[in-house]
Structure formats: structure tokens, C-alpha cells
Structure 1
């Protein structure tokens, strides 16, 4: 080990744990502290993957954040993007570095909460308690609360305005329909983006032996998530039209022969279906 430590001492910096650093010191090899570099924080998904590419960054002036549940992580990430004035980089903890002066001096997020104000009433969501009994809907305000502790045990709370929050807990055997979606009245998120966000938060394929394949589960989830997004963002008529369009594109479009069109009349009894040639003008335009 001594030879290894001596070899490391000739390099330009190292990433030894504090425990190994002390061991090198005991063997007479004096090394500087590990480079102050930590993995940039990236929100986790329901399948325990990262939404972004985590990379090592300079940790000086950074804020250490713990592993958040997917719904808090994804919604916090969106809130951070919407508040560029909060420029402090977030990094993931590295327990092996505990004991280095620079690491111990970093401020840490002890807890993250989302405060929802709906119809004048406040509802606080955190990662430890059951969620309030609150249904999806538009909110008067949504605020991410970051409770931060510094090295000298000083505490402060950073408030970040958010445009949405999704309450969901996969540990309670929730399904996509159990997700509660809260949107600011001025939130401009569209169906596709909300569907992607629901996927990142809620999708986790069942691993049971009798479960469908990952692809089959994923396809069904996306259909359900998109429908939920449509119901939240569109009025009744728009939601129905969009839902019908999704069904047609997935299940019926491939049945239509090249150069022909099918017209379906629903609502009357019985259903009437007509097939005809596409007019020449429409064919040329296509």
C-alpha cells in the first residue's frame, strides 16, 4: 500500500477517500486533500436512472443534495431551470470524502418540500409524510422549499417558484391514475412534455415472472400517462378529440390502404364506416 500511496503522490491530484488519505499519512506519505470535485446532481427517475448526464464538477461553492424521490427530484429540477437567479450548482454527496475540510464545509440540503396554495389554502408536501388529501387541479401558487444547513449548523430556507408539482409514491403500489398533478394557472406545459414528466416520475416496470415484457408495459403506460395529461390540460372536447386521434394513429391508421381514406361515423346506431379514394388534389398535396 505504501508504494501505491507514493505513486499517487506523484500525480496531479487524487480522489482517495478520507479514510485512505489518513492511512497514507500513517504510512508517512503526506498527500493533499482529494480534489474538490463531485458528481453534478441529476434527478432520478422511477426506474432509478438519471434524467441527465451526471459529470464531475468543481464543488467549490456547491450545494450538496441528498437522493430525492423521483417526483420531488423531477419537479425540483424543473423549478431550478425556471429560477436562473439561483445559480448555486447542486452536487451529490460522497460519503467517502467526509472528513476533508472542503467537503465538510459545503452547505447541504436537509429537506425539500413543495408548498401548494389552492383556493387560498396551504398544503405542504414533503418526502416523509403521506401526501395531503388533495385532488389534481390548478393552484394559486406552487413553491419549492429547500431547507439548507451550513457547516456551522446555521439554517436557511430557499424558496423557488414552481409551475407544477406531481405527487406520487411508487412505494405505496400507486398506479399512474393515482398521481396528483398540480399546475399553476399560467403553466404552459403541453401534453407531450407532461407525458414525458409522468414517465420519468411514475414508470417502473413490474419484474414479476408473470408480468408483460418491458416494452409492452412501457407502451401501455405511455397511453395511460398521455390520457392523464390530456385530461389535465385540455377541455372535454379537446381531450376527446386528442384521445380519439391517439387511438386511430396507434390501432387503425395502418389498416388504411395507400391512396384511400376511411370515414367513421360514431354516435349513431349502428356505427357507419365508409371507404373512398383520396381526391387527386389531396393526393398531390401529400
Structure 2
């Protein structure tokens, strides 16, 4: 057992032997690191040149910065000779130059105290061979030349262009100025605070787009995204201006190191988004997000008094677009339907009441119904709206006698009344002529749905068929199921038979079924301009094709 009472962490000398594995050795990493070193050295420009040889590409990166004072710092992993100001502002790690590890490299530099040139190749990178320091007579700055394996046509040019795009210094490639772009050019609004430029973007968020520009090095970080309820989505991108304590995870620099400064930046991003929303004419923040927004700005207004107009949910809807939002009208109410049977029944009652305004209820107490939005529960204006659910229905016969305990699948009462109750226990009765209810197996078979239709209803067989389909038809998406069209055609046939039976009797239903089957499967075989005369009974059948003008007695 050791008897030591104190020790101190250190870097093993063997670590240098693994230096070629610290970086991926890609051109992206190399340009990113060399460009950053030039910027930290106070350069005003960076020049990249490339000469394509037979078996390699000779790439040179030249800058007019302060140069390197001591060559030993250049090849000492984790050590650098950056100025005190640079160390304070950026905390450089002294690893960037080793992105070239393993490549034949020549470095030539002139600083205020001297000049040198050195070549590094093979074992010299891992500390197993000496590196000869040679004299150099060149201008102030640093030139790094290295051999890189040849790649696909245009890849080198694209990589340099990408490295220069958001870099703060001008870059040339083979003498040509490369385009630079403001990282936040497309922002809806830019807010500068605490050493950050925060761009707030409207409806442009993508997980595949870089969100942080660290002096030209871009990376993806999941900064806050705030989505208004069925409205605008707000996101941010951040550019570092002067934030010395925000650092990247070494050595790859592909993610932000988690510390208090990152937490502070995240809070700044949320504050920036809320400040932009605050200036908008209206918003639809969830109640939870609105409470947070008020912690930054106490007079933050409530969400707009708007809700989507009520529209029935149909059984076949896998995905349903939210109806358009509209300002609340006088007599605004919410209807929270439970399923498609409830929704279709209520929708029929409203259409029967208000005609071409399918979300309104006419009568002595006119109401305009809207969809419930759970994310905004809590706003005083929303909680003050009457919210109805269906609590029952009443069928009456013989001028008012209720139909009790009738479980038949088809009812033809004299009157139907839907009973609704709001959150305060107050009831609302709505007269209608149609109700459809779920029963055993009704999701797959229109004959199993329980349907009540008043004796005086003016619904046609086609209208009733559509109501049954809307409430009941839910197509199967199993891999071995028929196509949607085939399932819908089959279901419509059965629904139409049921509708004709209710409204016109069994004979009419049989004829309707035959007519639909004939139209679907046989009619297309009759030649254009010809007539099929058909007689069919258990005793025999007679079919004859005739010209369209010939008599029906043939």
C-alpha cells in the first residue's frame, strides 16, 4: 500500500505518443484550428494556397499575425505562448496545431523577438525524433505548409470556403477573396448582450443547422425553442463576441462545455425570444410559457383571445388539421367532444340550427362554439368561457313521453334533445333530429351503430350515409388490409343500405344495395350507347343488350 499523503495530477510523457489520435485529421479540423490560431495572433487576413501534386496536395496557410515567439511552445501539447489578454479572453488549450499530427509539415514564423523554420514529419510528431530548428527570413506572421492526401475534385475548395464563411477575418484561396456571411443574416431580430449576439428566428428551426458560431467554428447545440400554440415557432442562433468563460469541449471542439456560463446563455436565449414575442401584435404562448415570460416582463400581455372554430372530429381522421383560429364572438363557448360519434351528432345539431355557420347555435341563447386548447388553460379569459360536454340525450314519443330502456339499433322518436353541461354545472338542451351512438362492433360495421332519427327528419339517404361514414368509418392500416379506397367503397355500400332501410324501408335498402353493386362491378362492362335489360328471379334470369333507342320490352 502507498504511503503518500499528497499527490498532484500530471500529464504522462507517454501521452505524446498518442498525439496522432487526438484529432480526426480532417481538413475541416485543420482549417478550423489554424484559422483560430491566426485570429488569436492578431492577424488581419489569412491566405490559403494549394498546389496539386501527383500523389498529394501541398497546402499552405499564411497569416500576418504576431508570429510564434518560441518554437518549443508550438510542439508542446497543451502549452502555448499566447498573450495574457488572449489567455484571459479565450483560455486557449495549446492543442490546435496538433490537428496536423501525422502530416509532413513545415512551419515558418517571424515574431517581434526572432524568426525560425522547422519541419515535422513521422516520429517527430510523437516525440521520438528531434526537430531541427532552422533560420528563417520572412515577413511578420506565420506560414504553415503541409502535405495532404488528394481528395475528390472540389472538396478542398469547398472545405476552405466553409471554414471562411463565418470567420471574422478575410480569407483568400489561391489569391481569390472568399465570401463571408453574417451568421445571423436571416434572423428576425438580433439582440446583443453579455458578449453574445443572439439571433431570434421565426419558423426556421432545424436540428440539422448549426446554432453557435465560435469565432468561425460552427456547431450544433440545442438552444431553447419556444412554440406558440398552433402559431409561430421561435428559435435562436448565437454568435460569440467576447465570452471568455464559454468554452468548447477539447480537443474536437464539437460541443459546448457545460458550465454556469452556458446556463446563463440559455437563460439569455429564452429572455431574447420572449422580448421579441413581447413586441409582436399578438401571441399564443402556452399558459406555462406566459408565466415564465412574465418573470422577465411583468406587463406581458395575455395570449390573444382567439380559438379555433369548432369542427367535428371524424372517425377516419388519423391526423387532423387544427381549424383556423378566430377572434371570440359574443356568446363564445367551448365544446369538448369525446369521440366521432359525439362530434358528428353535435355537428348535425348545429347545422340544423344555424345552416351555413356550422359552429354556431341559433335560438334564444345564441352561442358560437370553439375547440378546447388545453395548453392555454389558466388564462383568465379562457377559464371564463363556458366549456360544454355532452352528458346525455333524451328521445321522446307521442308528444313528449320519454323512450326509456329502448336498446334497439334504430330509433324513430318524435323528438331528440341533446343534453350538455358546462364546467359550472349549468345545462344546455339542444333540439336535433339525429343521434348516432357507439355499440358493440360499431367501429367496423355500420349496421352495429345505434342510430336515432326523428320521424320528421328531412335527412336524405345520401346525407344519412355521409353521417354514418363520418362517425363510424375507421380504415385499417394493417399491412394485409385492403387499400383505403377499397375499404371506403365497401363501407359506403353498407352505410347506404342502412340509411335507405331507416328512411325508406327494407325493399328500398335491397334495391339501393343492388344498384351500388351493379354500378361498381358491372355497369362499366356495358358498351357505350347500349342498354342492358335484366330480369332476375329464383326461377331464372334474362339479360339482353339492346340499342339505347330500343324498347324496354325486349
**What stretches of structure 2 of length at least 5 have no aligned partner?**
1-269, 354-361
- In structure 2, the residue matched to 1:139 is 413
- Alpha-carbon distance between aligned partners in 1 of 2:529 and 2:282, rounded to the nearest angstrom: 67
- In structure 1, the residue matched to 2:175 is none
Partner residue of 2:463 out of 169, 174, 193 = 193
> Residue 192 and residue 88 in structure 1: after superposition, are their counterparts in 2 closer, same or farther (change >3 A)?
same
Residues 444 and 473, structure 2, Cα contact 8 Å, conserved in 1: no
- In structure 2, the residue matched to 1:127 is none
Residues 42 and 50, structure 1, Cα contact 8 Å, conserved in 2: no
- In structure 2, the residue matched to 1:41 is 310
2:352 corresponds to 1:82 = yes
| Count of residues in correspondence between the two structures | 271
More deviation in 237-246 or 101-110? Answer: 237-246
- In structure 2, the residue matched to 1:129 is none
Partner residue of 1:107 out of 376, 380, 386 = 386
- In structure 1, the residue matched to 2:211 is none
- Alpha-carbon distance between aligned partners in 1 of 2:427 and 2:469, rounded to the nearest angstrom: 30
Q: Deviations over 1:176-233 (max 9, x none)?
A: 1101221111111111111111110010011222211211111111111111111111
- Report SS of the residue matched to 1:158: strand
- Report SS of the residue matched to 2:510: helix
Residues 293 and 300, structure 2, Cα contact 8 Å, conserved in 1: yes
Q: From the CA coordinates, give the structure whose radius of gyration is larger.
A: 2
- In structure 1, the residue matched to 2:498 is 228
Give the number of the structure with larger relative contact order, counting CA–CA contacts within 8 Å between residues 6 or more apart: 1
**What stretches of structure 1 of length at least 5 have no aligned partner?**
125-131
- TM-score w.r.t. structure 2 length? 0.45
**Where do residues 92-241 of structure 1 align in structure 2 (5 Å cutoff)?**
92-118=371-397, 120-123=401-404, 133-149=407-423, 153=424, 155-169=425-439, 174-241=444-511
Residues 344 and 467, structure 2, Cα contact 8 Å, conserved in 1: yes
More deviation in 217-226 or 97-106? Answer: 97-106
Residues 9 and 29, structure 1, Cα contact 8 Å, conserved in 2: no
Structure with greater helix percent? 1
> Residue 257 and residue 110 in structure 1: after superposition, are their counterparts in 2 closer, same or farther (change >3 A)?
closer
- TM-score w.r.t. structure 1 length? 0.85
- Alpha-carbon distance between aligned partners in 2 of 1:51 and 1:32, rounded to the nearest angstrom: 30
Partner residue of 2:548 out of 278, 282, 286 = 278
> Residue 262 and residue 121 in structure 1: after superposition, are their counterparts in 2 closer, same or farther (change >3 A)?
same
CA root-mean-square deviation: 2.6
Q: Deviations over 1:88-116 (max 9, x none)?
A: 11112222222221111111114342212
